[in-house]
Amino acid sequence: MKPDSPDSPDLDHEAFLEMNRSPEFQKLKSSFRRFVLPMTVAFLAWYLLYVVLSAYARGFMGTKVVGEINVALVFGLLQFLSTFLIAWAYERYARRRLEPLAAAVGPAAPAGTEEEGK
């Protein structure tokens, strides 16, 4: 291992490979990806929709909703709201689901579990 790569006194490369093969880790990985990848696609699409409408649908964006408040402003404020909500949802998911799964991955897993993970 290169001198500058993160070194760990108690774990060698083989131990990491073994953990990677364990079903606990595979479950953690798929749970993580199942949340973040679709969510990323969703918020990027939602944001790009906002930018595209701002560029190409200015008439629609200028429609007044209430008083001086128009669709463009509401759409913009919804971007703030969705950002806050996604951050909150991820925090909740990470605490409830990902952290326990991550804690279950370990070099000291019971003998039986390692058999299952090939």
Partner 1 sequence: MTGTLAAPQLLAAPAENEHRVFSLILFAVFVALTLWITIWASRQTRTAADFYAGGRQFSAVQNGLAIGGDYMSAASFLGIAGMFALSGYDGFLYSIGFLVAWLVALLLVAEMLRNSGRFTMADVLAFRMRQRPVRAAAGISTIVVSIFYLLAQMVGAGALVALLLGAEGEAAKIWTIVVVGALMIFYVTVGGMKGTTWVQIVKAVLLMTGAAVMTVWILAKYGFNLSSLLGAAADASGKGDAFLKPGLKYGATDMWSKLDLLSLGLALVLGTAGLPHILIRFYTVPNSKAARASVNWAIGIIGVFYLMTLVIGFGAAALVGSKAVAAQDKGGNTAAVQVAEHLGGGPGSTGGAIFLAVIAAVAFATILAVVAGLTLASSSSFAHDLFANVFKRGQASERDEVRMARIAALVIGAVAIVLSIFARGLNVAFLVALAFAVAASANLPTLLFSLFWKRFNTVGAVAGIYGGLVSAVALVMCSSIAWGGKSATLPKGNPDALFSETIVAPFPMQNPGLISIPLGFLCAYLGTVLSKERTDDKYAELEVRALTGKGAH
Residues that bind partner 1 (CB under 8 A): 2-8, 11, 13, 16-17, 19-21, 25, 28-29, 32, 35-36, 39-40, 43-44, 47-48, 50-52, 54-56, 58, 61-62, 66-70, 72-73, 76, 79-80, 83-84, 86-88, 90-91, 94, 99, 102, 105-107
In the complex with partner 1, the residue whose CB is nearer, 87 or 116, is 87
In the complex with partner 1, the residue whose CB is nearer, 88 or 113, is 88
| Nearest distance from C-beta of residue 48 to partner 1, angstroms | 7
Query: For residue 64, what is the DSSP state?
Result: E
| Nearest distance from C-beta of residue 30 to partner 1, angstroms | 11
Q: Report helix, strand or coil for 104.
A: helix
| Nearest distance from C-beta of residue 99 to partner 1, angstroms | 7
Q: CA-to-CA distance for 18 and 37, rounded, in angstroms?
A: 25
In the complex with partner 1, the residue whose CB is nearer, 8 or 113, is 8
The token pair at 41 is 């696609």
| Dihedral, 36, 27, 6, 90 alpha carbons, nearest 10 | 30
CA 94 to chain centre: 9
In the complex with partner 1, the residue whose CB is nearer, 74 or 116, is 74
The token pair at 89 is 């949802």
| Dihedral, 45, 51, 55, 56 alpha carbons, nearest 10 | 30
